[in-house]
């Protein structure tokens, strides 16, 4: 099958939508976070994709910042009791993390494909 050039498909749109980084049509995920074995449209093998802990790190930093800053502003402005903080911020961090994790994983895999990123290798033949 004729596949589009890497430059015609935006890795940002494909990754955030959970679509194949080569054709932008097939699903990248099987289930919520599980990676499909290959694209159902163009047949791209996803065995190259290894997002590692990158998505989790970005989600922890971004979601943590949003929730902590929101909790601090809430505390300074309204001074609610601690149970209100627990009722607000525990569900917020869980929901925000779950939503952002899939987006971050798809984006990092699409960018990995777009930039032809591979595992680092040591050149033993170099002097």
pLDDT of 35:
95
Could you give the C-alpha distances from 33 to 7, 25, 72, 108, in angstroms and in order?
Answer: 26, 18, 31, 13
For the chain, what is the domain count?
Answer: 1
122 falls within a domain = no
What is the block-wise mean pLDDT of the chain (127 residues), using blocks of 10 residues?
68 96 95 95 92 95 97 98 97 97 96 89 74
- pTM for the model stands at 0.87
Within a domain: 4 = no
Taking alpha carbons only, the member of 19, 21, 18 closest to residue 5 is 21
Q: Measure the CA–CA gap between 2 and 58, rounded to whole angstroms.
A: 35
Burial class (CB in 10 A: 0-12, 13-18, 19+), 88: middle
Distance CA 72, CA 119 (A): 41
Look at residue 6 in the predicted model and tell me its pLDDT.
64
- Can you give the pLDDT at residue 126? 63
What's residue 100's pLDDT? 97
The domain in which residue 110 lies consists of 11-114
């Amino acid at each position: 099958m004729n596949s589009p050039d890497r430059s015609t498909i935006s890795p940002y749109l494909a990754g955030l939508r959970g679509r194949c980084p080569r054709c932008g049509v097939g699903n990248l995920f099987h289930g919520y976070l599980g990676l499909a074995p290959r694209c159902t449209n163009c047949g791209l093998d996803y065995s190259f994709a290894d997002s590692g802990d990158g998505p989790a790190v970005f989600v922890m930093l971004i979601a943590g910042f949003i929730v902590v800053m929101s909790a601090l502003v809430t505390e300074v402005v309204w001074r609610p009791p601690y149970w209100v903080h627990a009722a607000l911020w525990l569900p917020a961090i869980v929901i925000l993390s779950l939503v952002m994790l899939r987006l971050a994983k798809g984006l990092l895999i699409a960018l990995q494909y777009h930039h032809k990123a591979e595992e680092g290798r040591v050149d033993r033949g170099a002097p």
